[in-house]
Homo-oligomer: A and B are copies of this chain.
Amino acid sequence: MRNETGVADAAMDAAIDAVIDAAIQEVNHRAHGRMSDRFRRVRRQSQAIAEPLSVEDCCVQSMPDASPIKWHLAHATWFFETFILERFEDGFHAFHPQFRMLYNSYYEGVGDKFPRPQRGLLTRPSLDEVQAYRADIDHRMLLLIDALEAGEDAASAGHQRLHAHLAEFMELLELGLQHEQQHQELMLTDIKHLLSLNPLKPAYQEMPESLRIAAPVQLPLDWHRIGAGVVEIGHAGPGFCFDNEKPRHRQFVEAYQCASRLVNNAEYRAFIEAGGYRDAALWLSEGWEWKRQLKLEYPIYWQRDEAGGWREFTEYGLQPLEPYRAAVHLSYYEADAYARWAGARLLTEAEWEHAVGRLQGRGREFFGVAWQWTSSSYAPYAGYVAPAGAVGEYNGKFMVNQYVLRGSSSATPLNHARLTYRNFFPAYARWQATGIRLARTG
């Protein structure tokens, strides 16, 4: 049977190899490459994401959970200005006196912030001004980085500070870049949400020729059994990780089985057509109420076409539903209900992280396809300590009523995924590229 899907397997394996290669290259880059190059590359990528969009597309906010593209572009820049330049730049001056407040997302330690649900009201500063902001901060950041890379003497007071706190500077720089990469994914999901609400159903970009001819093929669904035991999870270094991935610590997992791939559209469609959205017994009570109030009958970006088939709103506009593509944009409630219907359950995050290591090569779609809901509530690891200062608000204060997602999606920047990465969203979130990997106990 494997033979029948050989071509796709090969394509998939190649894709996985590509991810791994990219990761390795990145590690090399970080070790040996020039930080200034990396800085430029990451910053340029945000611009590239905004490139296909009009000035209007970049300004509007589709819901309180999403932000305008222009705001993302400015906020990622604000992070560098506020947490690095303000601390390390000699003779620092704010680019604009009100940007500190306007583009502060949620850092109470930094002071006032503009209310999140009103970000779409900011027609000014214009996109041009935000681009000027980016250029200015880039220039000033690169002066610092270049100076370091050139091994310059620490003549000025600023540079003295820089040298005295080099490790901290490098950490914040890396955090700023990782932060911008997180926003790159949000830019893609937020603009998708905005465009989906437009009756014209505009495409973010044209579908590339390659995708048009090569539909995903059906992968078999295998169950991999993994024995009970004490496992270690969490980041052990070297290399960057977010604070919430630490410390590496022990957890006990009972014996379980892990699905070899994600649930695909054909399977999720079968759930719908079997009455999955009408059977309370399949749903968490809160999920059932959520579904009832929103009158949901299928995933957020699906719609029935006239002929009784299904279409899905994608970055390429409205497209026929691909049966063998992983089902995405599912809430935790939907993922949990599907799993119950399928006689299975979601993985815990410890099970997930442990499985990836155990199944190397035998498990698929762990990365680059869809974030995978786990049944683990987002909570501090045993021994977790939030960093000091406003940066300590980055992750820790969100550790309640959210669920951990593992892996990465097609919208995640290539070198941003990580085995120990803990993404998190509330159970009702559907606007992210979130999917389902099944598990069974025993």
Contact = CB atoms under 8 A, between A and B. Distances in A.
Interface stretch (A40-48, A132-140, A247-255, A412-420): A247-255
A334 to B, nearest CB: 12
A393 B284 CA distance: 9
A277 interface: no
**Chain A contact patch, size range:** 35 or more
Given A55-B56, A200-B125, A427-B401, A281 B251 contact: no
Interface string A42-70: 00000000000011110110100000001
A75 B282 CA distance: 24
Contacts of A106: 285
Contact of A55 (B55, B283, B383): B55
Given A230-B230, A332-B400, A382 B254 contact: yes
A375 B379 contact: yes
Nearest to A392: B281
A178 to B, nearest CB: 20
Contacts of A56: 55-56, 59, 70, 123-124, 126-127
A15 interface: no
Nearest to A401: B401
Most B CB within 10 A of own CB, among A101, A114, A252? A252
A59 B197 contact: no
Copies of this chain present = 4
Contact of A98 (B199, B283, B287, B393): B199
25 contacts: A55-B55, A56-B56, A56-B124, A56-B126, A56-B127, A60-B121, A98-B199, A98-B200, A108-B280, A118-B197, A121-B198, A122-B198, A124-B195, A124-B200, A251-B252, A253-B382, A281-B392, A284-B398, A284-B399, A286-B401, A375-B379, A376-B379, A377-B377, A383-B442, A401-B427
Interface of A: 54-57, 59-60, 62, 70, 98, 101-102, 106, 108-109, 114, 118, 120-127, 194-195, 197-200, 202, 228, 230, 249-254, 256, 280-281, 283-288, 332-333, 336, 345, 375-377, 379-380, 382-383, 392-393, 397-401, 427, 441-442
